[in-house]
Structure 1
Amino acid sequence: MASYRDVAARIRRDVDAGLWPVGKPIPGIERLAKKYVVARETAHRAVKHLVAEGLLYSEGRRGTFIRPPAPAPIVARDRHVYRDELGYFFDRGAQDWRGVGVPTQEVAMPPADVAALLGVGMGEHVMVRDRAVGPPDATHPLQLATSYLPMPLVGQLPVLGAAKTGPGGIYDRIEEHFDGPITWEETVSARPANDLEQAALRIGAGLPVLVVTRVSRVGEQVVEVNRTRMPADRFSVAYPVMRDDTARWPREAERSE
């Protein structure tokens, strides 16, 4: 009797062989059970396993689809901020990306670690701005970005809570308000995707997301924390490796000879 893992391996081989087209649903559970001569429950577990693995993704009643392959990371983040006619951006490979769907704004409590970075107390509310972005022809986003802004700053600058913040977005409004430049510090980590991220990014539970946490400051004041999530197989982080003074060349022993 074939196990669900055996069936998953056979489905994987058929996907790799191009048996079903990308973008159209694969056969339903009943048809898969007949094709692989297994019980319906075995076929169902096999599909769930491949969704969790990231090979397939589910759209509920629309069916289960093959996730398009990623031959290489499509965006390599580096350690620079750039600017064009639309304002600041942080991924050169994603310069032409635009919003997918409608961005939202709400007043809510931030995660505890974000509250600590913002310097607000536990249980205090902040302005939360959510935005999803992707390539110009994208049908679903490849990045989810959430900005957290302290309410005292929003009180001074109400446009930060508006649906439209004008040319250059919130960063231009903040710099205009303080008449000074923003500086940024980023931390990159990885974790399993949560349910909302899996649905929005069309990834399985087995595929992690890269999480870029960016802290924005004007002088010593933290004015925003941004948390951007992206599928780990679509992005990479690239940066030059600089020599610290302790690693300078020629080495100390060789200079003294």
Structure 2
Amino acid sequence: MAGYREVAARIRRDIEAGEWPTDKAIPGIDKLRVRYDVARQTANRAVQHLVSEGILYSQGRRGTFIRPPAPAPIVARDRHAYRDELGYFFDRGAQDWRGVGTPTQEVGVPPDDVADLLGVPHGTHVMIRDRAVGPPDATHPLQLATSYLPMALVGQLPVLGAAKTGPGGIYDRIEEHLDAAIDWEETVSSRPANDHEQQQLRIGAGLPVLVVTRVSRVGAQVVEVNRTRMPADRFAVSYEVQRDDTARWPREAERSE
């Protein structure tokens, strides 16, 4: 009797051969059991194994779908903020990306680490703005972005809680209100995708998300924390490596010779 890994390999070969289209669910477990002549449990474990590898993704009762193969990283984040006629952006490769679905705005409690970055006590309510984005022709998002704004600033600038914030978005409104430029600092990390991220980004539980946490400051004041999540296998981080004084060239010993 074939083991689930062997069955997973056979399913993978059939996917690569184009047996099933990527926009329709693959056959259910009972049909797979018959097709590969294995026990139902084996077929189920094989499918779950492929989900964990990122080859398949589950859409609950709608079924299990083939995830399009990952190309070379489609966006290389670097260490620059850019600007065009629509406002600031941080991924040159995603300059033409737009919202997918309807963004939301609500007052809620941020994660404790975000509260620490904002400088507010744990459990304090803040303005939370959620937005999903992707290429112009995307049917589902490739990035999920959440902005957290302190209520003290929202009280001074109520448009930060509005559905439409005008040209340039919240960053232009903040700079206009405070009459000063925003400075940004980003931290990049990764973690397992949660249920919401798996569903929205169409990735399996075995794939991590790349998490970019951006802290926006005007002087010493933190005006926003943005947390953007994206499939880790489709994004890269790129930056120029600069020499510290300790690594200058020519080296000290060679200059003295």
Q: Structure 2 counterpart of 1:153, which letter?
A: L
Instruction: For 2:156 and 2:85, locate their aligned partners in 1 and report how far apart those are by CA, in whole Å.
Output: 26
1:24 equivalent in structure 2: 24
Q: Structure 2 counterpart of 1:19, which letter?
A: E
Instruction: State the 1:17 CA deviation.
Output: 2.6
2:4 equivalent in structure 1: 4
Give per-residue Cα distances to partners, 1:124-165, cap 9 Å, x unaligned.
110000000000000000000000000000000000001111
Instruction: For 1:206 and 1:82, locate their aligned partners in 2 and report how far apart those are by CA, in whole Å.
Output: 33
1:104 equivalent in structure 2: 104
Instruction: State the 1:21 CA deviation.
Output: 2.2
Instruction: For 1:51 and 1:33, locate their aligned partners in 2 and report how far apart those are by CA, in whole Å.
Output: 17
Structure 1 runs of 4+ with >6 Å offset: none
The worse-fitting range, judged by mean Cα deviation, of 49-58 and 91-100 is 49-58
2:240 equivalent in structure 1: 240
TM-score (norm 1): 0.98
Residue pairs, 1:9-158, within 5 angstroms: 9-158=9-158
Instruction: State the 1:22 CA deviation.
Output: 2.1
Match of 1:149, SS? strand
Instruction: For 1:107 and 1:71, locate their aligned partners in 2 and report how far apart those are by CA, in whole Å.
Output: 38
Give per-residue Cα distances to partners, 1:188-231, cap 9 Å, x unaligned.
00111011000000000111100000000001100000000000
Match of 1:70, SS? coil
Instruction: State the 1:256 CA deviation.
Output: 0.2
Instruction: For 2:58 and 2:109, locate their aligned partners in 1 and report how far apart those are by CA, in whole Å.
Output: 30
Give per-residue Cα distances to partners, 1:56-99, cap 9 Å, x unaligned.
01222322111001120000000000000100000000000000
Instruction: State the 1:13 CA deviation.
Output: 2.0
Instruction: For 1:221 and 1:60, locate their aligned partners in 2 and report how far apart those are by CA, in whole Å.
Output: 43
Instruction: State the 1:53 CA deviation.
Output: 1.9
Residue pairs, 1:208-223, within 5 angstroms: 208-223=208-223
Gaps of 5+ in 1: none
1:175 aligns with 2:175: yes
Instruction: For 2:195 and 2:49, locate their aligned partners in 1 and report how far apart those are by CA, in whole Å.
Output: 16
Percent of aligned positions with the same letter in both sequences? 83
Instruction: For 2:113 and 2:123, locate their aligned partners in 1 and report how far apart those are by CA, in whole Å.
Output: 12
Give per-residue Cα distances to partners, 1:6-34, cap 9 Å, x unaligned.
21121112222322222222122111111
Match of 2:163, SS? coil
Aligned residues: 257
Q: Structure 2 counterpart of 1:97, which letter?
A: W
2:192 equivalent in structure 1: 192
Instruction: For 1:196 and 1:53, locate their aligned partners in 2 and report how far apart those are by CA, in whole Å.
Output: 18
TM-score (norm 2): 0.98
Instruction: State the 1:44 CA deviation.
Output: 1.5
Instruction: For 1:157 and 1:84, locate their aligned partners in 2 and report how far apart those are by CA, in whole Å.
Output: 24
Q: Structure 2 counterpart of 1:212, which letter?
A: V
Q: Structure 2 counterpart of 1:210, which letter?
A: L
Instruction: For 2:196 and 2:20, locate their aligned partners in 1 and report how far apart those are by CA, in whole Å.
Output: 27
Q: Structure 2 counterpart of 1:112, which letter?
A: D
Match of 2:212, SS? strand
Match of 2:46, SS? helix
Match of 1:105, SS? strand
Instruction: For 2:60 and 2:195, locate their aligned partners in 1 and report how far apart those are by CA, in whole Å.
Output: 13
Instruction: For 1:61 and 1:120, locate their aligned partners in 2 and report how far apart those are by CA, in whole Å.
Output: 41
Instruction: For 1:17 and 1:242, locate their aligned partners in 2 and report how far apart those are by CA, in whole Å.
Output: 46
Match of 2:186, SS? strand
